[in-house]
C-alpha cells in the first residue's frame, strides 16, 4: 500500500517546513522502518534518532499524527486504523485517497534538526528530583544492599521507564509552566520514595511539595498515562506522592495542601464553598501570610467595585448530607491506609 509521510523538518536559519515522501509499505512495517527507508532510498539528509529498534533504548521518540510515541513501536497498520477512528470524512468512498502520516519532533523541547530535539531540559528536570538512592545516613554493607522480592517488586512499574520523553512532550502543564519538572521526573521521584534502601523520603516529600515545580504543578490531564509506551502511568505515580504529602504534611507547609484541606473543610461546613473565606485561608494562610493577602487585595477591591463581592453566605440545604458523605469517605480512606501500613 502507498502511504504519504509528511515530515516536519527544521533547520537552523531556515525555520520549519513540511516535506512529503511517498513509500510503498506493509501494514506491519514500523514508522521507524519507513523513516529508515526514506533516509536510505529517498533523502539522506533527513535527521532522526534511533538505536535499539526494539522499544528498549527510548531514542526514537517523536510525534506521530500528533501523539508522542516511539517510532519503533508503532506500525503503519495500527496507526492508520487509529487515524480512521478519530477522523471523520463525509466522503463514503475514500479508497482512492492515499493515507497520510504526519511526523514531527517531540514537543516541549527545542529542536536541533528535523526530528532531533535537545534533551538537556528533560535531563535537567530529572536531575532536579535527585533520582538517586540516598547514601547519606546509611551504613554501607560489606557487599551489597539486599532487598526482599516484595520490596523489589514495588519498583517494577516505575523502573520500566526508558526515558523516551513521550510523556514530557505531551504534558500540558510542562507547556505552560517552565518550573514544572515533568511526569518522567515525578515518576522517578515516586520510584525513589518506594525504594526500601532510600532514607530521604521526608526531605523528598518536602521537595516535591514545592509550589508548582513538583507534584502540584500537574493538572491531571492524563496525557502522560495515555502516551507512555512502558505503562509507567506517571500521573498515577504523581497522585501517590500527593496522597503521601497530604497524609504527612500539615496545611502550613504549602498553599497546595491548604487548597485541598480548606476546600473540604468549607464544603463540610456549608455544603459548598464560602468564597470569601477561601482566598483568605488558602492564599492568606489564615491571615498569617501578609504578602499573600496583599496579592489578592486588588481582586477583592475589583469585586467590591463591580458588586460581585458576596457579603453573606448561605449554607446549602444539603449540608448535613454532604458532611456525612465526606466524613464516611475520610473514615474509609483512613482505615484503608492504616491497613496498608
Ligand atoms: S497528568 Fe500531569 S504530568 Fe501527566 S501530562 Fe498531564 S499535567 Fe503533565
Ligand atoms: S514515563 Fe513513560 S513516557 Fe515518560 S519517559 Fe518514561 S517511558 Fe517514556
Ligand atoms: S530505537 Fe530504541 S526505543 Fe526505538
Q: pLDDT digits over 89-140, tens only?
A: 555 566 678 899 999 999 999 999 999 999 999 999 999 999 998 876 566 6
Q: Which ligand is nearest to the CA of 62?
A: 3
Tell me: pLDDT of 219 over 80. Answer: yes
Q: Note the pLDDT tens digit of each residue in 154-174.
A: 999 999 999 999 999 999 999
CB burial of residue 14 (10 Å; 0-12, 13-18, 19+): exposed
Grid cell at residue 236:
498515577
Instruction: Choose the most confident range, by mean pLDDT, from 73-82, 141-150, 253-262.
Output: 73-82
d(CA 190, CA 149): 18
Grid cell at residue 108:
516541549
Going by C-alpha positions, the residue among 48, 46, 49 that lies closest to residue 38 is 46
Which atom of ligand 3 is the closest one to the Cα of 53?
1
Q: What's the first-to-final CA gap in the chain, in angstroms?
A: 57
Pocket test for ligand 2, best of 158, 162, 169 (most atoms within 8 A of CB): 162
CATH number of the domain located at residue range(s) 2-87+96-113 in this protein:
3.10.20.30
pTM of the shown model: 0.85
Beta strands in the chain (DSSP E): 2-11, 15-24, 61-64, 67-70, 100-104, 111-113, 116-117
CATH 1.10.1060.10 range(s) for the chain read: 120-248
Ligand 1 pocket check for 176: Cβ under 6 Å: no
Give the residue whose CA is nearest to atom 1 of ligand 2. Answer: 184
Architecture of the domain spanning 120-248: Orthogonal Bundle (1.10)
Ligand 2 pocket check for 163: Cβ under 6 Å: yes
CATH 3.10.20.30 range(s) for the chain read: 2-87+96-113
Amino acid at each position: 500500500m502507498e502511504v504519504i509521510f509528511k515530515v516536519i523538518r527544521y533547520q537552523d536559519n531556515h525555520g520549519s517546513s513540511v516535506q512529503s515522501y511517498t513509500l510503498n509499505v506493509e501494514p506491519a512495517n514500523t514508522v521507524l522502518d519507513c523513516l529508515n527507508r526514506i533516509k536510505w532510498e529517498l533523502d539522506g539528509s533527513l535527521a532522526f534518532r534511533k538505536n535499539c529498534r526494539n522499544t528498549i533504548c527510548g531514542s526514537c521518540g517523536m510525534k506521530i499524527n500528533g501523539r508522542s510515541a516511539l517510532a519503533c513501536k508503532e506500525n503503519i497498520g495500527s496507526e492508520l486504523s487509529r487515524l480512521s477512528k478519530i477522523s471523520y470524512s463525509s466522503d463514503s468512498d475514500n479508497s482512492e485517497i492515499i493515507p497520510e502520516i504526519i511526523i514531527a519532533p517531540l514537543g516541549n523541547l527545542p529542536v536541533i534538526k528535523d526530528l532531533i530535539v535537545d534533551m538537556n531540559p528533560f535531563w535537567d528536570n530529572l536531575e532536579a528530583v535527585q533520582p538517586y538512592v540516598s547514601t547519606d545516613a546509611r551504613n554501607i554493607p560489606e557487599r551489597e544492599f539486599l532487598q526482599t522480592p516484595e520490596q523489589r517488586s514495588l519498583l517494577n512499574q516505575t523502573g520500566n521507564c526508558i526515558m523516551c520523553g513521550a510523556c514530557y512532550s505531551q504534558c500540558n502543564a510542562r507547556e505552560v509552566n517552565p518550573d514544572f519538572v515533568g511526569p518522567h521526573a515525578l515518576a522517578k521521584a515516586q520510584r525513589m520514595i518506594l525504594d526500601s534502601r532510600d532514607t530521604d523520603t521526608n526531605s523528598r516529600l518536602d521537595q516535591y511539595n514545592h509550589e508548582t515545580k513538583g507534584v502540584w504543578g500537574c493538572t491531571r490531564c492524563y496525557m502522560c498515562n495515555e502516551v507512555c509506551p512502558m505503562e509507567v502511568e506517571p500521573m498515577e505515580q504523581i497522585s501517590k506522592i500527593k496522597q503521601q504529602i497530604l497524609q504527612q504534611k500539615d496545611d502550613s507547609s504549602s498553599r497546595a495542601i491548604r487548597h485541598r484541606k480548606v476546600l473540604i473543610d468549607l464544603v463540610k461546613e456549608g455544603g459548598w464553598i464560602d468564597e470569601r473565606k477561601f482566598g483568605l485561608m488558602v492564599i492568606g494562610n489564615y491571615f498569617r501570610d501578609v504578602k499573600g493577602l496583599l496579592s489578592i487585595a486588588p481582586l477583592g477591591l475589583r469585586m467590591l467595585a463591580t458588586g460581585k463581592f458576596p457579603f453573606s453566605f448561605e449554607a446549602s440545604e444539603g449540608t448535613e448530607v454532604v458532611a456525612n458523605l465526606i466524613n464516611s469517605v475520610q473514615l474509609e480512606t483512613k482505615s484503608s491506609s492504616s491497613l496498608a501500613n
